[in-house]
Structure 1
Amino acid sequence: MPAEAKDTNASTNRLVAVSLDEASISRGNPDQEHERAIAIFDILEENSFTLPGRDLGPYSLVIGLVENKLSFAISTESGEPVMTHLLSLSPFRRVIRDYEMVCESYYSAIRTASPTQIEAIDMGRRGLHNEASELLKQRLDGKVDLDHQTARRLFTLVFALHWKG
């Protein structure tokens, strides 16, 4: 880590590693795998992730499914477990289902539709993505503080847990 980045909020209030629990996922199609890789890259490039009342960051995060619940396993950069948050998937079911349908339409449209049609579908996709990221922020409220962009990228990974191989 560069010397100028040590002991600053920017260096401690962030994620330095993010992955999906291998037991929780199945491989997606190439478009889905690309989306997942971009989300992880973007999160690691720039994110805001803090555990209120704790100064243990930077953090590593493994997202998975445990007994039909969403699991956020948080550890220190060195791998020491900090905590695991389990969230009910029930509040996410509708938005995940809707997002999946819009994404299927989007991936189909980018191969055959006009730019205007693609843009309209993409606007709907971004709107649902924003709704889902706000829901994720609400469900993590008081447990994890994160900014909107980090929540958006994390939702992409939550959604990746539901891809059918």
Structure 2
Amino acid sequence: MAKGTGTDRLIAVELDDSIGRGPPDIEHERAVAIFDLIDENRFAPIGDTEGPYRLNLAIAERRLVFDVRQEDGTPVMTHILSLTPFRKIVKDYFVICESYYEAIKMGSPSRIEAIDMGRRGVHDEGSRLLQERLAGKIEVDFDTARRLFTLVCVLHWRG
């Protein structure tokens, strides 16, 4: 099930000041990633049934901090996720995205399609890794993991 029920979903995602702000194009991409995540998700902290949830993301010592709260702001959990396992996948994803955007400008449809398939494959790999890294703490379905991975990528993007 991609769409969460009344309790097992995110209703808000905020970025802490520790993440920093970027140029307008990066801020736009972050806003789109957050909108997509909130629009359709399944997010359930293990052992808590008092959702829906608010998620505040922060960066501390190269780790992504998930501060999960109930709708009224009551703390549910904090989960700290090392970003080190994601470095190579995020780097690969950016490289293939650059190739994709270049191919759109001058490539043949078959080249664009081949690069896009590769891009989706790397994105899926990052999504599965994120889902695995959250296992036992926060249950997310694959589509939500994809949206979260997109947000993780956008947080790394420097333009």
TM > 0.5 fold call: yes
Instruction: State the alpha-carbon separation in 1 of the partners of residues 8 and 47 from structure 2.
Output: 12
For the pair 1:13 / 2:8, whether they are aligned, the reply is yes
Instruction: State the alpha-carbon separation in 2 of the partners of residues 153 and 75 from structure 1.
Output: 19
Note the 1:1-165 alignment, pairs <5 A: 10-27=5-22, 30=25, 33-165=27-159
How far off its partner does 1:163 sit? 1.1
**Tell me, what secondary structure is at the counterpart of 2:90?**
helix
Instruction: State the alpha-carbon separation in 1 of the partners of residues 47 and 111 from structure 2.
Output: 47
How far off its partner does 1:107 sit? 2.0
Output the amino acid matched with 1:57: G
Name the TM-score, length of structure 1 as normaliser. 0.85
In the TM superposition, what whole-angstrom CA distance separates every residue of 1:96-133 from its partner, at most 9, and x where no partner exists? 11111111112222222222211111111110110001
How far off its partner does 1:67 sit? 1.1
Q: Would you say how many aligned residue pairs link Structure 1 and Structure 2?
A: 156
**Tell me, what secondary structure is at the counterpart of 1:161?**
helix
The answer to whether the 8 A contact 1:35-1:156 is kept is: no
Instruction: State the alpha-carbon separation in 1 of the partners of residues 23 and 8 from structure 2.
Output: 31
How far off its partner does 1:29 sit? 6.8
CA RMSD of aligned residues (A): 1.8
Output the amino acid matched with 2:7: T
Structure 2: which 5+ runs fail to align? Answer: none
How far off its partner does 1:33 sit? 4.8
Instruction: State the alpha-carbon separation in 2 of the partners of residues 92 and 123 from structure 1.
Output: 20
Distance 1:35 1:127, change over 3 A: farther
Name the TM-score, length of structure 2 as normaliser. 0.88
Identity %: 54
The answer to whether the 8 A contact 1:25-1:161 is kept is: no
Structure 1: which 5+ runs fail to align? Answer: 1-8
Distance 1:117 1:138, change over 3 A: same
Distance 1:20 1:118, change over 3 A: farther
